[in-house]
Amino acid sequence: MSGRVYLDYNATAPVRPEARAAALDGLQAGNPSSVHYEGRHARALMDKARRDIAGFIGGAHEGLIFTSGGTEACNMAAKLSAAPAGGVQRLVVSAIEHVAVSKAAAALGLPVQTLPVTPHGLIDVPALATVLQDPTPALVCVMLANNETGVVQPIEEISAMVRAHGSLLFVDAVQAAGKMPIDVAALGCDALALSGHKLGAPMGTGALWARDGLVTPPHMQGGGQELGRRAGSENMVGILAFAAAAKASGDTLTDFAAMAAWRDDMEAQLRAAFPELEVFGAEAPRLANTSSFSLAGLSSEMLVMALDLAGISVSAGSACSSGKVSRSHVLDAMGVSDDLSKGVVRVSFGWASRASDAETLVETWSRLAAKQKSSEKIVAE
């Protein structure tokens, strides 16, 4: 990416040097299921990685299951079935969940209730209270931070409600991890999903953490890996890189929080140039690195391509849609108008970003937006 400005960390983070070095160690590792020296050595490396990643979220290492990524972790979590009040009979899924959660929930054959959000992108807590008036045990799925807007949810408040109901709470923390402190005990969740490549590890590794006593149904059949919870030889390259990236992310959380100043200044400059600019989720707590904004009458597709040609990488929202720029279900849930939704751009900073990147984005986006608005005005006339 030499010479380019990369501002799409919420899609994936460039591999950190620490993760790259750990991945090389993984290439030399044996099979952790083997009983000889090489196997025992690999097992020791993997066990340390498990402890490190569990420590990264304040959880017990016995509850951490390595997966192929966040999507698999979310699919596994959707199958949790034994709540304190009895067997799970329904799922309650927020309207802004990643499709890895919403589609996994829909595929189970159980009733699925959609939990609305406010115009600011926060979970409608009174609506959740209404849903929980039904005593039927549920699996409630609420992400910690939204991948498109960066809005951070009040998980502690939500978990207290779910726990009092005798139901389970699953938290997708894929986007939040490495961008804010995470402590599963403080959050009060029953299960939590992570993904390595959002932290600066290679793609292809993630994890599901589940609290002690919570049975995680096997996702695949085969050998007895992961204490029988997930079959298949473990991805040593990805696991060691994941642990290294998690440690590096944890060590630099203070630096990450400082990115909020870059973002806020960027948004202020954009609003000064275009007073009608809308910043989604700006009135709610947000990840320090994320900004999602739009100007009515613009085209996301044209802006993303034009910025790309100018050497700046951004997105129009989630990157998990086969490269398509399509209407955002998150903005739909927030009640954003079609005209605004069509022109959204998401900017997300990360571990190798600089303050000058935000300045470059302001200058280039402003020029392109003014040009596009001018062209539309001419057409309209």
In this prediction, residue 2 carries a pLDDT of: 62
> In the chain, what is the greatest distance between 2 CA atoms, to the nearest angstrom?
78
In this prediction, residue 379 carries a pLDDT of: 43
Domain with CATH 3.40.640.10 in the chain: 17-251
Over residues 321-347, mean pLDDT: 85
In tens, the pLDDT along 28-49 reads 999 998 999 999 999 999 999 9
Nearest CA to 313 among 353, 351, 276? 353
- Provide the CATH number for the domain formed by 17-251 in this structure: 3.40.640.10
Is the pLDDT at 377 greater than 70? The verdict is: no
User: Is residue 74 annotated as part of the catalytic site, yes or no?
Assistant: no
| Model pTM score | 0.94
Over residues 12-23, mean pLDDT: 97
Instruction: Spot the catalytic one: 74, 141, 189, 320.
Output: 320
Average pLDDT score over the chain:
93
In this prediction, residue 325 carries a pLDDT of: 57
In this prediction, residue 268 carries a pLDDT of: 98
Label residue 79 by pLDDT band (50, 70, 90).
Answer: very high
Structure tokens at 2: 């030499």
Over residues 197-209, mean pLDDT: 97
In this prediction, residue 16 carries a pLDDT of: 98
Q: How far apart are CA 42 and CA 325, in angstroms?
A: 42
Structurally, at CATH architecture level, domain 5-13+254-380 sits in Alpha-Beta Complex (3.90)
Of 57-61, 66-70, 220-224, 287-291, least confident by mean pLDDT is: 220-224
Label residue 24 by pLDDT band (50, 70, 90).
Answer: very high
Is the pLDDT at 367 greater than 70? The verdict is: yes
In this prediction, residue 272 carries a pLDDT of: 97
The share of the chain scoring above pLDDT 90, in percent, equals 87
Is the pLDDT at 327 greater than 70? The verdict is: yes
Domain with CATH 3.90.1150.10 in the chain: 5-13+254-380
In this prediction, residue 318 carries a pLDDT of: 62
Q: Which residue has the higher pLDDT, 112 or 316?
A: 112
In this prediction, residue 322 carries a pLDDT of: 42
